[in-house]
Structure formats: structure tokens, C-alpha cells
Chains A and B, each alone.
Chain A
Amino acid sequence: MSNEADADLDIQRESIFGRLPLLIGEREYGTLGAHGTCFAYSVATWCFLTGAYAAELVGAVQGLVCLVAGNLIGVFLTTMPLSLGCQRYGLEQIDFCKPSFGQRGAKLLLIFYLVNLIGWSGLILVMFGNGIFNIAVALGFAPGRWVVGAGVAVGLGLAYWIAIRGVRLLNIFNTIIAPGLVFLVLFMFVMLLRTYGWEAIARAEPLAPTPIPIVNYLIALELGIASGIAWWGGIGFLARNTKTRRDAVYPELLQLGFSAGIVCAVALFSALMVQSSDPTEWMVPIGGVFMGVIALAFVALANVTSTTVSLFAGGLALRHIPALRGRPWWQVVGAVALPCVAFVFWPIELYDLGDVFLAYNGTMYAPISGILFVDFFLLRDQKLHLWSIFDDAPDGEYQYWKGFNWLALGCVVLGQAVYIILYNPFSGETHELFRFFPPSLTACIVPGLVYWAGMRFLFPRLGDEVPKVQGRLSLPNI
């Protein structure tokens, strides 16, 4: 009896901390939980960074439009296949990519996925450290910059502690944090309006625009779309834990799309008025010491939430590596957390690379999103051969060419090339066609169409009724 109980506990652990597809009864997020987690996830560093980058190019009104609309468009493109697919089958995100990229091809995405999660976590943790530094300054201390690195270490330790305890604790954490964050953003916006007035905010000039206004506007829109698409890393994790399809889609669109856009816009207004891209620097001047410190504390805690989601999702993804499949969860999460330690020692240097990192995400995830969208909705009519995802048999449905779908992988490279030709985010150069074709959207649609045509040509029977296999897995890859 005791052995059976132990075995059940192991299975439960494996579904929460491993790649076993989640059954409906095991999922944590109802409507409120999904909204809360998505909102807490959305109020993170990249919103403030995106808002600050936009402030260099456009004023308040155009920036508001570009950031909210762009975020919504970006999240829509990236969330629809991932949310509906991961929720339907209870799948971890990299598993969901196997039908389009192949059993081994999906593992190539794993590398970029981990870079994404670790990079964002590091940036967020530096903001957590900056928050602690600025709280100390606001309270009259004169801390050294080492406090930022120490803050990164504390934030990382806290996020790690929550991640190894599971989604339930994260859910509880978010039900406390999320309402505070709603209040915080509203409070900051009201304080901005009271201190400066809407007319002054609306009239404020962008900080460092290019000479061509329409190019400024379109780059700001691009920032919004890229910022929406950059949620790619966390969407599967959230959707997999939701109970209904609507709970998988609407919270992501509303919170990661709309609310994140609004938070970006508040950061844009602040950056325009206070001329600082770091929210931990403008919260005390705008909110006063008492409210400013509370606001800083909430942002710091929200950053821990975001880091926890990233560590958790990264840990699940690492289960694809055979050597880590059987390791204890604390070790697997530790493997994701370890590279973040670099941010303890070089916080400022790495934080300054944030804009380059955002650009990298745009070039990477726009084509992947386009391919997944076409594959799941247009080619397969939302029906996956679930057994083949977990079977390494050479004649499996998703083996393609020795485990790689080179067509899909080639389309990712094509999408990146399209993006860089239209707009090189590293140099800031734009092509003439940039005015007519937003890079993220084009880098999403072009590879998607090429992939659709190629798959139709190579596998004309794709999307016919998926055979249901009630037998056994020959080479389970769990």
C-alpha cells in the first residue's frame, strides 16, 4: 500500500515537474488564477523597457497607440496556436513544437527558448536589484552599487525557492500580488496626471527621434509587436495549466496583450516626463517616499513572479534532455537558474543589452509563431497525433528527416532574413519597404506561407483524419 502511495506521488510529481501531459483535474488555473498570473507576468521589466525605448521615438499619443495595438497583435499571433494546442493536449511548449519542427528539430528551438527565458529572467532580476537599491536611497541610506548585484542574488534565490515548490504556491503568490499591481499602475498613472497634467504629457517631445516621423511611428509599432511576440516563452506553460480553452486564450490576450500595452504606455509617459527608462528611478519622485517605496516593493515582487514562471518553464523544457529527465526537480531548475548568476556579478553591463535582446526575440519568434499558426490551424485543423509526440520510433508521425523538419527550420531562417532586411534592429537601418510591411508581421506571415505551400507539396495528405492509436508507445521519450 505504501509503495502504491509512493508511486502515485511520483506520478503526480512527474506531471507537475515533468513532461507528462496534464490532465484537466491537475490544472491549477481557473479564470481568476489565469488572469492574475498573466497580469503579474505582464508587469515586468520588458514592459518598462519597451515603453522607455518607444519614448525615444514617439510622443505619448502615438506611443500609446503603437504599444497597445502592437502588443495585442503580437500576442494574438503567438498565443493562438500555443494556447489552444497546449491547453487541448496538456502539453509542455517544446512538445507542442514537435509536429511542425520534428522530434529533434523541436529540441533545436529549446536552445533559443532557454536563451529567451534566462535572458528575461536576468533582466528582471536586475530590475529587482535596482528596486532594492532605490528603496534604500528613498529611505535615506547611501548604498553602494553592489546592492543591485546582491538584490539579483536575493531575487533569484526567492524565485528558485518558489519554482521548486510548484505552481500552486506561484498561484497563491499571484493572488496577493496581482491586485496590488493593478492598484500600483493606476496610482502611478494618476500621479503622473496630477503632477504634470495630460496636456503636458501629450505635448512632450520624444527623446531621440530619427528625422523621419513615419519611420519613428513604425519602429514604435514594431517595438509593440515584438514585445507581444516575445511572450512566446511563457505562453505554453500558462496555457497547459488552464482548465478551459477560454481561460487559456482570453487572459493572455487581455493581460499579456492589452494590460501589458497599457503598462508599456505608462512607462512611456514616465520616461517622456522624467527622462528615465528605469521605473525604479521614477516611482519615488512621482509617488512620494511612502507610496513610491510600496510601489517599488510590488514591482520587485512582480519581477520575482516573472522569474519564477521562467525558471519553471525552463525546467520543464530541460526535461527534453535525456540526461536531465530523471534528475530531481530542484537540480533541473538549478540548471536554469545557474546562468542567471552572471547577472549578480555584471548586473548593469548585462541590463544595458536589453534592447538588443528584445530585437533578438522579435527576429526569432515571429517566424516560429507564423509556422506554428499555419501548422496547427491551417494544416492540421487543431488535431495532433498525440502518441507520436511521445514516441521516438523512427517511423513516427513527426520524425520527418531523421527527426528534423528542415522545411520548418529553413522557414525560421527565412523569417529572420526577412526581418533583418526590412529593419535591422542592431544598426537601426530600415529598407524602403519598411513603410509598407511591419517587420515582425512580415517575418511571421512570409515563412508561414512558404511553410504552408511546402508542407502541402511534400505531405499532401497532411490534415486528414489523425489515426487514434490505442496501443502502446514503442520508444517512449518521457
Chain B
Amino acid sequence: MTSGGERTRLAEELERRLVELERAGDEELGRFTRWDWVLVVLTSLVLPYLIVWWFA
């Protein structure tokens, strides 16, 4: 992938991917909802701190 022609082709492929990835939405990428946030904040931040504080 070093010659001029190959670099141009690579850049065109990159542009195609950027367009496709910008168009992608929840249907393709999966959801991460508010409830997911609530779950991860509670289990990975709040609860661990409460437990640490409890055992201090």
C-alpha cells in the first residue's frame, strides 16, 4: 500500500467507510440505553464505593 495509485484507492475506501459509519445507527451498532447507564454506574461506581466505605 505504498504507491500513489494504491494510496488513492485506500483513501477512496476510507471515504466510503466514513460515509457508511456515519450513517450507521442503533439498528446496526446496538443500543446502549439510559437503563444501561443506570446499571453500569450503580454496579461499577456507586456500589463499589459504598462497599469500600463500609469496610473502611
Contacts and interface: CB of A to CB of B under 8 A. Distances in A.
Partners in one complex: yes
A390 B18 CA distance: 9
A398 interface: no
A478 B22 CA distance: 18
A326 B9 CA distance: 13
A98 interface: no
Contacts of B55: 61-62, 65, 217
Contacts of B56: 214, 217
A245 interface: yes
Given A65-B51, A66-B52, A90-B21, A244 B14 contact: no
Interface string A372-391: 00000000000000110010
A296 to B, nearest CB: 32
A90 B19 CA distance: 13
B26 to A, nearest CB: 8
A73 B14 contact: no
Interface in A230-279: 243-247, 249-250, 253, 257
Given A89-B21, A246-B36, A249-B32, A476 B44 contact: no
A76 B20 contact: no
Interface string A58-84: 000110011011101101100010001
A73 B36 contact: no
A73 B29 contact: no
Q: How large is the interface on B (under 10, 10 to 19, 20 to 34, 35 or more residues)?
A: 20 to 34
Contact of B29 (A68, A244, A470): A244
B30 A326 contact: no
Main secondary structure of the interface of B (DSSP, over half): helix
Interface residues of A, number: 50
Given A246-B30, A253-B40, A386-B21, A11 B10 contact: yes
B48 A69 contact: yes
A80 B18 contact: no
- Main secondary structure on A side of the interface with B: helix
Q: Which of A69, A221, A325 has the most CB of B within 10 A?
A: A69
Given A75-B44, A245-B32, A7 B52 contact: no
Contacts of B44: 72-73, 75-76, 253, 257
Contacts of A217: 55-56
A74 to B, nearest CB: 9
A247 B18 CA distance: 22
A476 B36 contact: no
Nearest to B44: A76
B49 A69 contact: yes
Interface in A304-334: 325-326
Contacts of B13: 11, 14, 20
A76 B29 contact: no
Contact of B45 (A21, A76, A250): A76
Q: 4 closest A-B pairs (Cβ-Cβ)? A: A244-B30, A69-B48, A326-B2, A76-B44
27 contacts: A10-B1, A11-B13, A18-B1, A20-B10, A62-B55, A70-B52, A73-B44, A76-B40, A76-B44, A84-B32, A89-B21, A90-B17, A217-B56, A244-B29, A244-B30, A245-B29, A249-B32, A250-B40, A253-B40, A257-B44, A325-B1, A386-B21, A386-B22, A387-B18, A470-B19, A473-B14, A478-B14
Given A69-B49, A76-B41, A326-B1, 9 more contacts: A23-B21, A72-B45, A73-B44, A214-B56, A217-B55, A244-B30, A245-B30, A390-B14, A478-B10
